[in-house]
Amino acid sequence: MNIEQNLTDKTESKKINRNVLCAVLALLIIAIYILLDGWGMFANVTAYFRGDDSFSGLTSTDYRSQTYAGIIMDNMIELYAARLICLVIFLFPVIFTALKFRISFKTGKDAGYKRWIPVLRAVLGLFAFYYTMTLGTVFSHELFTDYFSFGPWRVFFRIVGAFLLLGAFIVDWPTLIKAVRSFPSSHPRLFKCLFVFFISVISCMMLEYQAGSKMGMESYMLPYSILYWLILQVFIGIITRNVKAGAFVSLILSYLIGLANDVVYQFRGNYIIFGDLTVVRTALEVAGNYTYKFGAWFWVSLILLILSLTVTILIRFPKHEKAGVKEILIRTGAAAAVAAVTFFAFSTGILYHNINGVGWDYNKNVSFAGYLPYFLSNMNAIKKVELEGYDADLAREALDSVTYVQEEPFSYPNIIIIQNEAFADLSVAYDIETNQDYMPFIHSMSENTQKGYLNMSVTGGPTANTEFEILTRSTLNFLPYGSVPYTQYVNADLPSIAVVLRDQPEPYHTVAYHSYYSSGYRRIGVYDHFGFDESRFEDSFSDDFPESDLPRGMVSDSANYRRVEQFYEEFREQSDAPWFCFNVTIQNHGGYTQDYDPPADENTYVTNFEATDSINSYLSLIRKSDDAFRELIEYFEQCDEPTIIAMYGDHQPKFDDEAVEVLSAHTVDGYSRLNDYYVPYVIWANFDIDESDTLGDAGHSGELNTLSTNYFASTVFETAGVRLTDYDRYLLDLHERVPAITAIGVWDSEGNYYASAQETPHAGELSSYQMVQYNLLFDDDNRLTDRFG
């Protein structure tokens, strides 16, 4: 018995020693590979820590900000470690398996060609490995040319594929198959762990293939993208005692999140942000205006889902005995611990590496960090707004410092402000020529007219954010990126421009009118908090308007303006008080791939390149909007009451991928993403006002960065001659030095662009402005209401 036991112990000892040796060799091979291919980065890091002066002036090439040597080197060290971790995770099992189940080179009694088969397989394996690795010049450092990136995901998986090929040639397959078959029963716990990790990787891939990074996120963020699905499965597994339950939830949930992002991106051009979760109903209401296109990534993710679900169904795990009280208590405690640790890691930023979730280019940041890490970071950033060092007295001092003086007497004309859905001038971003001017009337306006381009905080949507900036005279620059204030922050009365006009010496009657459903962005409640006397919507527009007034199923601008005229006439029959209307149109809403057959005089199309139908449809809609605006102006030209009308677009349109690809080949000289954030505005009156035109003619030649949305209402009030509040005078004074400030940056009076307010020469003034805005929006207890309304 002792002899048998000794033999068994020796056998087990040999197995352990062999496993340890294989593991050490696998790690050594990976380490050698990393050092060979990444020696330059390794050498730079070590040289930097030795105090090499050549790194003192090192900076990044990011056009929006400078990143200096210390930060760059810290990132290099971090990425080098992340690179090691990722390669170990993916390559270690392959190399270990190839070493452990290697074919024997001992010929024994074999004769002839059989003795050379092992050598031939090894040679072929090395040849396949070298050929795969050198595809796309991996050995010329394609993978790590930019140390801020793990490189294209194709390159990373090419490396993994190369090692897989090598392992496939040199592994002893009969032995490996036998080991695989016995592995679940021999090592059940390890088998479950590997299964959970496999499902987590697949879940990550299905989501990322459909949203953002396409698995091309930074290497140090990849483990975080996988970690969430590990946590989810562990939590469900602890509660249910069923590994498969967690796998099913992880796979289906990740696929649905990815699909939702793919759909939203096609419709709007942005991935889902946390604020979007508060406007789901609005999104569903307009979803019928779009057509979803099934792209390659949809099918790749669907195939992954089907295959992984099939594996999950077919795989077998040992059945558990009925859980006792002790086990239930232990599992409950473990689940609570997992939840507590996850919550702590989330709230402190550990769960997503403390990345900044409030960058101005959400899509770019998603590609950089991975969808879930950036989404969670954004969610944590916007759940509440706090301003460090805030003091209501500082806000009061800022408002008291204004030197702007308004001349009296005041006047009280009717005021109409129109937010025109997706009304934009494509020539501001694209070199575009058309068969006819798509804004002929607006371009022809000169008498008692002010025109120009308005700097926006959003592009492609959401509409409500521009609306918020106009009505509250605020800027999204001071709010977390990705927030939707209408649905997140407007939960109490705020002194909006409706309140300003309602409290004039001659009080205005204020109306908010949107020619679409009332449920969008909680507008009913928001308009009530903003102090409008009445709000109107078109909840049954499909029944109330003839088909001729519903191009693409939307209320036309012409029909919309006729409603405005009707509301004015109805009110004038009851009262002679000055009248204010804030109007949001819907005609040009996205979904331009829908069939639209414009009248011959409105049919507008591109002539200098082959445009898609959606581009031409959009241009024809803008031409229709221009004509409708002419009708509105002609109506109030005949009005014997002084009236001022201001109209602007809420954002540039979101086109389908095909249209974007075509347009991207015809951008204007010096184009950057900033060009996507300009829309035209017009201020007209039927009485004498100062005239200005920075819009230019039919081919874009206007001046940019002269006015942003936060200043727009104050500018209209100044032009109208109504009594200005302290806040309006404060904004008009600030506008002289900082003419444009939006969520994507700040422009000074010299036209210089700054990515953040802190980088500008007016950082102190803008800090005071932030104090004032915080008091307006968030300080319910100490709000300086009389200064805003």
**DSSP of 176-220:** HHHHHHHHHHHSHHHHHHHHHHHHHHHHHHHHHHHSTTTT-S-GG
Check residue 143 and report its DSSP letter. Answer: T
Residues of the chain with pLDDT under 50: 59-67, 137-152
- pLDDT value at residue 384: 66
Tell which residue, 39, 36, 73, has the closest CA to residue 54.
73
pLDDT in tens, 278-302: 556 555 655 555 567 788 889 999 9
Contact between 526 and 484 (Cβ < 8 Å)? no
375 CB burial (10 A radius; 0-12, 13-18, 19+): buried
- pLDDT value at residue 357: 65
Separation CA 206–CA 214 (nearest Å) = 9
Separation CA 78–CA 80 (nearest Å) = 5
- pLDDT value at residue 147: 35
Residue position matching structure tokens 């707004």: 385
283-286-292 Cα angle (round to 5): 90
Question: Which residues, including other chains, have CB under 8 Å from residue 238's CB and lie 6 or more apart?
Answer: 331, 334, 335, 338
Separation CA 7–CA 23 (nearest Å) = 24
- pLDDT value at residue 74: 65
- pLDDT value at residue 83: 64
Q: Are strands 643-649 and 678-685 parallel, antiparallel or unpaired?
A: antiparallel
DSSP labels for 75-111? HHHHHHHHHHHHHHHHHHHHHHHHHHTBPP---TT--
Stated as kind and residue range, the H or E segment containing 534 is strand 534-537
Contact between 17 and 10 (Cβ < 8 Å)? no
- pLDDT value at residue 699: 63
- pLDDT value at residue 151: 46
499-500-504 Cα angle (round to 5): 110
| Encoded amino acid at 17, one letter | N
248 CB burial (10 A radius; 0-12, 13-18, 19+): middle
- pLDDT value at residue 596: 81
405 CB burial (10 A radius; 0-12, 13-18, 19+): exposed
Check residue 517 and report its DSSP letter. Answer: -
Q: Does the global pTM surpass 0.75? A: no
